[in-house]
Amino acid sequence: MNEQPFSVLPLRSELLNNLSSLGYETMTPIQAESLPAILMGQDVIGQGQTGSGKTAAFGLGLLHSLDTEDLNVQTLVLCPTRELADQVAEEIRRLARGLPNTKIITLTGGTKLRPQADSLARGMHIVVGTPGRVMDHITKETLELETVRTLVLDEADRMLDMGFEDAIDAIASYVAEHRQTMLFSATFPPEIKSIAARLTIDPVLVQIAAEQTESTITEHFYRVKNNESRLAACQLLMRHHQPASTVLFCNTRRETMEIAKALNAEGFSAVALHGELDQRERDQRLALFANQSLAVLVATDVAARGLDIEELDMVLNYQLANEAEVHTHRIGRTGRAGARGVACTLFTDKEQSKLARLQNSEGQPLDPDGCSEPLPDRDALKNPPPHPSMFTIEINGGKKQKLRKGDILGALTGEGGIEGSDVGKIQIAATRSLVAVARHSIKPALRKLAQDKIKGRSYKVRWMGED
């Protein structure tokens, strides 16, 4: 399909002008297919993976019909996780740059209800939230949804997997029936079809073949002898490919911990991500992985939900996923946005039947003998484990202290400081901030932050080391 510019759409000019400043020149396939219907106010059901540009598809749609003079909530976007809600809100904020005074709030757990309620009381246009927290506000009568005209369900399959079906139905019952509903999901099991049938009217279906987001991923399959051979194979593959960031998928919480421990003992910098971590611990591990201070995240599928890491070099499947769709989802996390990615999957003879359920890029079932490759040469064991390129510094001040990214960057790079190019991701939370700096600059960076004030105040700083 030819790439079409956004200008073929009857999109309000403030949005169009901003798109070119964001560098969005042409529409992605899901945008080209869904936006004409979205802009006409039709209900839409879209099948699209993260990376397909679906956020901008519904984001432009909801902003197109937004009336910033009206301070009632006009749009509700439901997402499965806090991370995804934050990302979606951020993307909508960027798209809304041409519409001054657009008020967007994220309503997710892990923070107090009261400040959120206070913000809502002052008037909001767009709410992006997780079903649990949105329901809390409805129950406490701090969120009024009768004025909502656009309802979006993002990653609907994940929300149902996480047990949010009842909450979604309840929330939708508070939204006026005369509304536009957009539902996006990577997969369409029967429960999704049924919730889509309940919540949408005469929807336009938009399906984008997966290959558009997979084209830069090289998939490799390796037959291993038994369970015990898996760990050694993973090490060999990482030492061979030297990926800066790897997500290693396995099946159980216990495995995540055991594998992370074993990899650390071998000199890798790995951490486990499983469903029983508390939110703070989870956020911290994800932050360190996303800012390149950790090289390997060992995760279960459930724990990795909503994970969106830019520049993921490798996905390692310790075992085959039980379902083909889960496999596609796993490998869809690498090779995003034109970057190159490698997906390596290990299987034993016992898993052959699962393998046969997968398809190659031409849609043919995989043949276990045909697809399996020999592991890299053992010479690769001479390579060191891939090192993370950054270290993280924690500063005991954040949004409450009105710290901004620019303040921290300025403090680090001011007189006697480090190069701006050695400063990585800066994440500002309520009362603390994390900043990634290149490994070779850690000492001067710590010294500079410990000695100098940031915005006139001294803060405690700490190298987060490899804890």
Beta bridge partners of 206: 46
CB of 336 to ligand AMP, least distance (A): 7
Tokens of residue 149, six digits: 């005209």
Between 11 and 346, CB nearer to ligand AMP: 11
Between 56 and 298, CB nearer to ligand AMP: 56
CB of 337 to ligand AMP, least distance (A): 5
CB of 62 to ligand AMP, least distance (A): 13
Give the H/E segment covering residue 424.
Answer: strand 423-428
Between 52 and 106, CB nearer to ligand AMP: 52
Q: Decide the pairing of beta strands 390-395 and 461-463.
A: antiparallel
Between 55 and 328, CB nearer to ligand AMP: 55
Alpha-carbon distances of 406 from 97, 402, 431, rounded to whole Å: 19, 11, 17
Between 25 and 166, CB nearer to ligand AMP: 25
Q: Which residues bind ligand AMP (CB under 6 A)?
A: 24, 27-28, 31, 50-56, 91, 337
Tokens of residue 368, six digits: 């276990």
Residue nearest to ligand AMP (CB): 55
- What single-letter DSSP state applies at residue 332? T
Rounded CA gap, 416 and 172, in Å?
A: 56
Between 88 and 234, CB nearer to ligand AMP: 88
Q: Work out the number of other CB atoms within 10 angstroms of the CB of residue 190.
A: 7
CB of 82 to ligand AMP, least distance (A): 16
Q: Decide the pairing of beta strands 314-317 and 423-428.
A: unpaired
Between 56 and 85, CB nearer to ligand AMP: 56
CB of 339 to ligand AMP, least distance (A): 11
Between 9 and 395, CB nearer to ligand AMP: 9
Q: Decide the pairing of beta strands 433-438 and 423-428.
A: antiparallel
CB of 28 to ligand AMP, least distance (A): 5
CB of 55 to ligand AMP, least distance (A): 3
Give the H/E segment covering residue 20.
Answer: helix 13-22
Nearest of 93, 97, 84 to residue 130 by alpha carbon: 84
CB of 87 to ligand AMP, least distance (A): 7
Between 91 and 255, CB nearer to ligand AMP: 91
What is residue 417's three-state secondary structure?
A: coil
Residue 35 near residue 8 (C-beta atoms within 8 A): no
Burial 122-161 (b: 16+ CB within 10 A, else e): eebbbbbbbbebbbbbbeeebbebeebbbbbbbbbbbbbb
CB of 269 to ligand AMP, least distance (A): 26
Alpha-carbon distances of 425 from 31, 145, 287, rounded to whole Å: 29, 36, 9
Give the H/E segment covering residue 423.
Answer: strand 423-428
